Amino acid sequence: MTPDHGNQPVGSKVELSAIVPISIRHVDVKALHAQYRDALASISGSYEIIYVIDGAFGEVIAGLDELLRAGEKLTAVYLTRTFGESTALMAGFEQALGAVILTLPAYYQIDPADIGKLVSALGSADIAVARRWPRVGGPAERLRRWAFHGLVRWMTGLSLHDLG
């Protein structure tokens, strides 16, 4: 794991850390960064964006390098090979400086304008979970989600939806 903190001063005070694990399913990182940066900038408080590249994705690395050269404040963590999303998230958590941690997808699955709503939902809570709705997918995907959420509900007593 090789972190590149770009313009982010190491040890600086950050209130919110946004972690974006990048794997096989991703979109243009420069366009995604612009949307996430704008959404986070609209929230009061300091923030950082951490990209964890889970494998060899040359176009992503080139895009992040271009953003860093342009003066964008971001941290890029490059994993030496593909380890999976859980490992990528853990690598991002290790780099995070913020008291609040937000995980974001590397593809268009959420509306960046709703990020502020999610963060404000924290209020005095310890965790806020967003729900993607409406969800798409075939019968097998819907059955898989139903079974997984049923197991979570049985184990925790919580009725949560859309836990990826």
The band of 80, judged by pLDDT with boundaries at 50, 70 and 90, is very high
Distance CA 37, CA 139 (A): 36
Pair type for strands 2-4 and 75-78: antiparallel
Residue 142 has pLDDT above 90, yes or no: no
Sorted by sequence, the CB contacts under 8 Å of residue 65 that are 6+ apart come out as none
Among 8-22, 80-94, 102-116, the range scoring the smallest mean pLDDT is 8-22
Distance CA 89, CA 91 (A): 5
Distance CA 18, CA 105 (A): 10
Q: Compute the residue count for the chain.
A: 164
* pTM of the full structure: 0.80
Terminal CA-to-CA distance of the chain, rounded, Å?
A: 24
Show the 3-state SS of 90-131: HHHHHHCCCCEEEECCCCCCCCHHHHHHHHHCCCCCCCCCCC
Q: What is the mean pLDDT of the chain?
A: 87
Residue 110 has pLDDT above 90, yes or no: no
